[in-house]
């Protein structure tokens, strides 16, 4: 029965199927490819990261380490801040090395004076005042026709920066936290 064999061969190749059956096979093939591609992408991506982590329980080692780390960080940051004596020394440096404007009587400094005051303050106070004497800080202030800025707004900027850090960071330190001598990292 060669005609049965030929008919089976013809049906097996799909050439003898109707247009509806061909469409069904093509749809299954496309959906299978899409499914396999999505599985491959999800395997490559791994798991979804967690964005929420529970706070450690009060009194646990991790909460103590976290509080101690915050305490040490804020203490280190406060050591980098200018204290009242440093601010007074900076004001004296600013007043001694400024130029008095003849028209307004305001004490002003140009960029060369600004750099000179930065070196004098760094010698007297230390490295903690150096961040205030950057070119970008000089450019923040209003300049006159000669390119000079008034020393008072600059000094007030330094004071505001220091006081804002103290208010925002150090006052948020928990009052109940006192580092225990038995727990040192």
Is residue 166 a contact partner of residue 81, using CB atoms and an 8 Å limit? yes
Is the pLDDT assigned to residue 137 strictly greater than 60? yes
**According to the model, what pLDDT value does residue 120 have?**
93
Average pLDDT of 37-52?
75
Domain ranges of the chain: 2-43, 81-172
HEC letters along 6-72: HHHHHHHHCCCCCHHHHHHHHHHHHHHHHHHHHHHHHHHHCCCCCCCCCCCCCCCHHHHHHHHHHHH
Ranges 82-86, 103-107, 139-143, most confident? 139-143
Binned at pLDDT 50, 70 and 90, residue 19 comes out as: confident
Report the percentage of the chain scoring pLDDT > 90: 32
173 burial (CB, 10 Å; 0-12 / 13-18 / 19+) is middle
- Tell me what pLDDT residue 178 has: 46
């Amino acid at each position: 029965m060669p005609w049965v064999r030929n008919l089976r061969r013809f049906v097996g190749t799909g050439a003898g199927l109707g247009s509806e059956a061909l469409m069904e096979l093509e749809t299954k093939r496309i959906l299978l490819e899409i499914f396999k591609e999505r599985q491959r992408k999800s395997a490559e991506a791994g798991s979804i990261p967690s964005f929420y982590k529970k706070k450690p329980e009060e009194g646990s080692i991790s909460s103590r380490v976290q509080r101690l780390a915050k305490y040490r960080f804020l203490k280190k940051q406060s050591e980098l801040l200018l204290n009242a004596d440093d601010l007074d020394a900076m004001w004296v440096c600013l007043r001694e090395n400024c130029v008095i404007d003849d028209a307004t009587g305001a004490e002003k400094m140009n960029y060369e004076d600004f750099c000179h005051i930065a070196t004098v303050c760094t010698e007297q106070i230390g490295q903690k005042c150096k961040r205030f004497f950057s070119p970008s800080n000089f450019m923040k202030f209003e300049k006159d026709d000669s390119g000079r800025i008034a020393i008072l707004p600059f000094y007030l900027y330094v004071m505001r920066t220091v006081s804002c850090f103290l208010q925002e960071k150090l006052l948020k330190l928990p009052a109940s936290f006192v580092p225990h001598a038995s727990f040192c990292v």
